[in-house]
Amino acid sequence: MELEAMTALGTRLAGGDSRAVEDVYEALGPRVLSYLRRLVPYDEAEDVLQRVFFEVWRSRDRFDPDRSLEAWVFAIACKRAINHLRRPHHVTVPIDLVRDLAGADGREDADNLVWAREVRRGLDRLPAEQREVLELAYFGGRTILKFFLSFSLAAVMRPL
């Protein structure tokens, strides 16, 4: 768009013409979008573009038609891009993707510790030979054959 047409568009915008914002969008929108795609993540540029032209519409009464319309719109675009980059972005990730990464939340570990303490108390109440048989059977990692060969038949067969 040539300078005279852009100046006339700026005058219409400052004068409150209701179609002027649409015409500014048609004239400058693609260039502003291209500019924004260099400043913000590519897929977020269109959202920022909408904020830019909302700001153009909202601030149209503050535009000075003696100044450059393009410079004014691009200044707004720059400010909106900076604001967009400053804003914290909360990324939503499906829980299934991070469930394995997060590990246990502590409840399962706590339950396991309570269970282990109860087992240990129960083992402590047994006679030493019976306790040793159970500890080797469950915690010793022995095969059944090695397990039975480690003890006398009387120790293994004694009733609990």
Q: Residue ranges of the domains in the chain?
A: 3-86, 95-157
Give the pLDDT of residue 108.
75
Instruction: Show the DSSP H helices in 15-106 as ranges.
Output: 20-39, 45-58, 69-86, 95-102
What is residue 141's predicted lDDT score, i.e. its pLDDT?
67
DSSP for 97-153, written as a single string: HHHHHH---SHHHHHHHHHHHHHHHHHHHS-HHHHHHHHHHHHS---HHHHHHTS-H
pLDDT of residue 54: 94
What is the b/e burial string over 105-144, where b = at least 16 CB atoms within 10 angstroms of the residue's CB? eeeeeeeeeeeeeeeeeeeeeeeeebebbbeeeeeeeeee
For residue 68, give the H/E element and its range.
none
Give pLDDT, residue 39.
93
User: And the tokens for 87?
Assistant: 């804003």
Residue 143's pLDDT is what?
A: 67
DSSP symbol at 19? T
Q: CATH code for 3-86?
A: 1.10.1740.10
Mean pLDDT by 10 residues, the chain (160 residues): 87 89 93 94 93 93 91 95 87 70 66 82 84 73 66 58
DSSP structure string for 85-100: HHS-------HHHHHH
Per-residue CA distances from 87 to 1, 66, 123 (Å): 34, 33, 58
pLDDT score for 130:
79
Nearest alpha-carbon partner for 24 in 66, 81, 69, 78 = 69
Predicted TM-score (pTM) of this structure: 0.56
Quick one: CA torsion of 113, 119, 122, 123, rounded to 10 degrees? -110
What was the pLDDT predicted at 119?
A: 82
Q: What pLDDT does 44 receive?
A: 92
